[in-house]
Structure 1
Amino acid sequence: MPELIAPTTRLHSAWLEARDEWGPGRHEDGFGLEPADEVDSPDGFATWVARLADGSGPKAAVTGPGCTYRWIVEGDRVLGGIALRHGPDDQVLRFGHIGYGIRPSSRRRGLATWALGRMLTEAWALGLDRVLMVCEVDNLASVKTIERHGGLLEGVKDTEHGPARHYWITA
């Protein structure tokens, strides 16, 4: 049975395994990994996990203080990550309130839909009455996930990574 947990140094090896499965390049949004983060060593990983816990460091420049990170785990296996941004409005408008990613071998199990539902509950508890979701135009899995939670398409906008769909989910 999957769970959402706060990032932890206890799962260093499991997290590295998930990262390696994604391969080189841009990593999934839900982990908050920045190019300057050194996560291979135990000390570097601990520094990164501490930054995720307090919202400081390089990611704060993108999301501002106020980003809740959760890992999607099953036992000692990291299946994905999800982040709830509740920082500056201009950054939320660029990236959305919630971003997530599921490692390739764990996709098609409904994990993203389940995790998004859990994070929407956290968003409502923070007082947000609507949540912006942004996904790449051709990411049909995310489109289905967002629409399953009542996401209404506002439109397609050009972003630094190409065109992206912008959806709103209302409490």
Structure 2
Amino acid sequence: MAFLSAPSEDYQSSYLEALQEYRVEGRGREPSPEEVAANFDTFVQHLHNQADRTKIKPRQVPTSEFWLIDGNNYLGRIFLRHELDKELLQKGGHIGYTIRPSRRKQGYGKLILKYGLVQAKAFGFERVLLTCDEDNHSSRTIIESNGGILENTIQVREWPAMVCRYWIHL
């Protein structure tokens, strides 16, 4: 049974495999598996530190990250941003998530968002904003199946796709 976990060194091998999958997929925003592997404990601590305003850069918002785990296998991650700035209000929202490529289309996207909404409620949120590209039908389906109500679709400066903005009441 899959569950959410705080980032942990216990899942290093599986996490690094997922980073390699993202690399093959062509995602440029993911850190390199080699860089992360060299100092995995430091990397994990950095992820934990992102939730603490005193340990992040100015203009960043505090963010809690959770990993979806099944057995000892890393399946994906979800980010819960504690607040929104001007940019996140347009694109990014309170919650972002990703499932590793080899585990997509198996229901894990819906599950990770469901679990993430439980975390958001525990953090005291009454509603959360999620965004996705208009042509990302999988993400739109995941958000809508978890109660997402489309507020609008906007063009964000310097972003190639139209962005759908959804609110979920908790």
Place the TM-score, normalised by the shorter chain, in its bin: 0.7 to 0.9
Post-superposition shift, 1:113?
0.8
Question: How far apart are the structure 1 equivalents of 2:114 and 2:83?
Answer: 20
Match of 1:25 among 24, 27, 37: 27
Where do residues 2-13 of structure 1 align in structure 2 (5 Å cutoff)? 2-13=2-13
- 4+ residue runs over 4 A deviation: 56-63
Aligned residue number for residue 141 of structure 1:
138
CA gap 1:6/1:62 in 2 versus in 1, 3 angstroms: farther
Match of 1:161 among 159, 164, 167: 159
Contact 2:84 2:93 in 1 (8 A): no
Aligned residue number for residue 99 of structure 1:
96
Aligned residue number for residue 30 of structure 1:
none
Deviations 1:106-141 (A, max 9, x none): 111111111111111111222211110011111111
Aligned residue number for residue 77 of structure 1:
73
Kindly provide the amino acid, as one letter, of the partner of residue 46 in structure 1. D
Q: Match of 2:35, SS?
A: coil
Unaligned runs of 5+ in 2: none
Q: Match of 1:84, SS?
A: strand
CA gap 1:120/1:165 in 2 versus in 1, 3 angstroms: same
Aligned residue number for residue 151 of structure 1:
148
Aligned residue number for residue 43 of structure 2:
48
Question: How far apart are the structure 2 equivalents of 1:110 and 1:85?
Answer: 23
Kindly provide the amino acid, as one letter, of the partner of residue 150 in structure 1. G
Question: How far apart are the structure 2 equivalents of 1:38 and 1:59?
Answer: 20
Contact 2:61 2:85 in 1 (8 A): no
Aligned-residue identity in percent: 36
Q: Structure 1 length as normaliser, TM-score? A: 0.83
Question: How far apart are the structure 1 equivalents of 2:57 and 2:138?
Answer: 28
RMSD: 2.4
Unaligned runs of 5+ in 1: 28-32
Q: Match of 1:4, SS?
A: strand
Q: Structure 2 length as normaliser, TM-score? A: 0.84
1:111 aligns with 2:108: yes
